[in-house]
Structure 1
Amino acid sequence: MPKYTCGFDAAIAVMGGKWKGLILFWLGEEERLRFGELRRTVAGISERMLTLQLRELEAAGLVHREVHEQVPPKVEYSLTGFGRSLVAALTPLGEWGEEHLERLEDLP
């Protein structure tokens, strides 16, 4: 029995939830971001939740984590080619949201 019922189901499963789409969006806007930069950029996310979401995105092959051996430690996150392909697919959805933002904010 297939794990997913359709491509949309598979895409939502890999990037679903409140935070993953935002993390992917901001990583798509920048070439790479450090953990603290992501924490400040993704408004409202806790450090623990950001860590969990980044681990899941990395395990899915969407995000690359690069550790620079220095003091203090420096960790940078960037999109993989697989992640960039997902962000490219999500871009029209974001544009739709921007176009209808006022109407969407008025929804109950």
Structure 2
Amino acid sequence: MHCAADFGIMEAKKEAIHMYEQVQIPLEILKGKYSAMILLYLCHEGTQRFGEIRTAVGSVSNKVLSKQLRDLEYQGMLVRIAGRHPNLCCSYSVTERALSLLPALEALHSWGCGQRI
């Protein structure tokens, strides 16, 4: 037989697990090395072409950047806008879902500014 105290502890554990699971959602989106940088850049600069994103991110291979962009698109954070002709580069734009993450990204940026590794 469980007493009321045991029940309270079990509920607290369930709540902690639920909170952990909810924190994992944005962390899963941001797990890519350049994901946060890409999202911050596009949130602030608007729709950008692949080359513009590559320049903003810095030294990243086309292959790695393409994968990061595909992952963010799959997660509903970006929309890929195809060029008018097959030879023209596509552009990327953030979704409302990505914009809703912007305050958290900016908070992480602010926190990171005060840290040393």
TM-score w.r.t. length of structure 1? 0.82
Is 1:77 matched with 2:96?
no
Computing the radius of gyration over CA atoms, which structure comes out larger, 1 or 2?
Answer: 2
User: Are residues 92 and 5 of structure 1, via their aligned partners in 2, closer, same or farther at CA, if it must alter by over 3 Å?
Assistant: closer
Cα distance, 1:89 vs. partner?
2.0
Is 1:92 matched with 2:107?
yes
2:100 counterpart SS class: helix
2:28 match: 13
2:83 match: 68
1:38 match: 53
2:54 and 2:60 in contact (8 A); partners too: yes
- Whole-angstrom distance in 2 between the partners of 1:31 and 1:63: 11
Root-mean-square deviation over aligned CA pairs: 2.0
- Whole-angstrom distance in 2 between the partners of 1:29 and 1:5: 29
Is 1:52 matched with 2:51?
no
Percent identical residues: 31
Q: Following superposition, which runs of at least 4 residues in structure 1 exceed 3 angstroms of deviation?
A: none
Q: Give 1 or 2: higher strand fraction.
A: 1
Cα distance, 1:80 vs. partner?
0.3
Cα distance, 1:67 vs. partner?
1.0
Amino acid at match of 1:32: T
Q: Give 1 or 2: higher helix fraction.
A: 2
Is 1:28 matched with 2:49?
no
TM-score w.r.t. length of structure 2? 0.76
For structure 2, list consecutive stretches of 5 or more residues without a partner in the other structure: 1-16
- Whole-angstrom distance in 2 between the partners of 1:40 and 1:11: 25
Q: Is the deviation greater in 79-88 or in 52-61?
A: 79-88
How many residues are treated as equivalent by the alignment? 100
For structure 1, list consecutive stretches of 5 or more residues without a partner in the other structure: none
